[in-house]
Amino acid sequence: MISALDGPLLIAFAAVVRHGSFSSAATELKLSKSVVSDRVRQLEERCGARLMERTTRRLRLTATGQAVLDAAHQVTDVLAHLDRRLAEARREPAGVLRVATTIDLAPQFVAPVVARMVRAWPKLRVEIVADDRAHDLLARNIDVAVRLGAPKPSTFVSRKLATLTEPIVASPALAEVLGPVTRPRDLAAAPWVRHALLPAGPMRFTGPDAAEDELTPLVRAEANTGAAVLALMLAGAGVGVFPSHGLRAHLDAGRLVALCPGWIWKTVSLYALMPSRPTSNPAVDALIEMLRDEVARTGGRFSEPDQASTETRVDPVSRS
Q: Which of 61, 90, 119 is the last residue of a domain?
A: 90
Average pLDDT of the residues of the chain: 85
pLDDT reading at 316 higher than 50 = no
- Whether 262 and 189 map to the same domain: the answer is yes
- Whether 125 and 191 map to the same domain: the answer is no
CATH assignment of the domain containing 257: 3.40.190.290
User: For residues 222 and 232, what is the distance between their CA atoms, to the nearest angstrom?
Assistant: 8
- Whether 202 and 127 map to the same domain: the answer is no
- Give the containing element (helix H, strand E) for 69: helix 63-91
Domains contained in the chain, number: 3
CB atoms within 10 A of CB 194: 22
- Whether 315 and 259 map to the same domain: the answer is no
- Whether 279 and 150 map to the same domain: the answer is yes
CATH assignment of the domain containing 122: 3.40.190.10
Q: Which residues pair with 52 in a beta bridge?
A: 61
- Whether 199 and 116 map to the same domain: the answer is no
Per-residue pLDDT tens for 174-203?
999 999 999 999 999 999 999 998 888 899
Per-residue pLDDT tens for 79-133?
777 767 666 556 788 899 999 998 888 998 999 999 999 999 999 999 999 987 7
121: domain range? 95-158+271-319
Cβ contacts of 187 within 8 Å, gap of 6 or more: 168, 178, 181, 215, 217, 239, 259, 260
CATH assignment of the domain containing 58: 1.10.10.10
Per-residue pLDDT tens for 222-276?
998 888 999 999 999 999 999 988 898 899 999 999 999 999 999 888 999 888 6
- Whether 263 and 275 map to the same domain: the answer is no
- Whether 276 and 261 map to the same domain: the answer is no
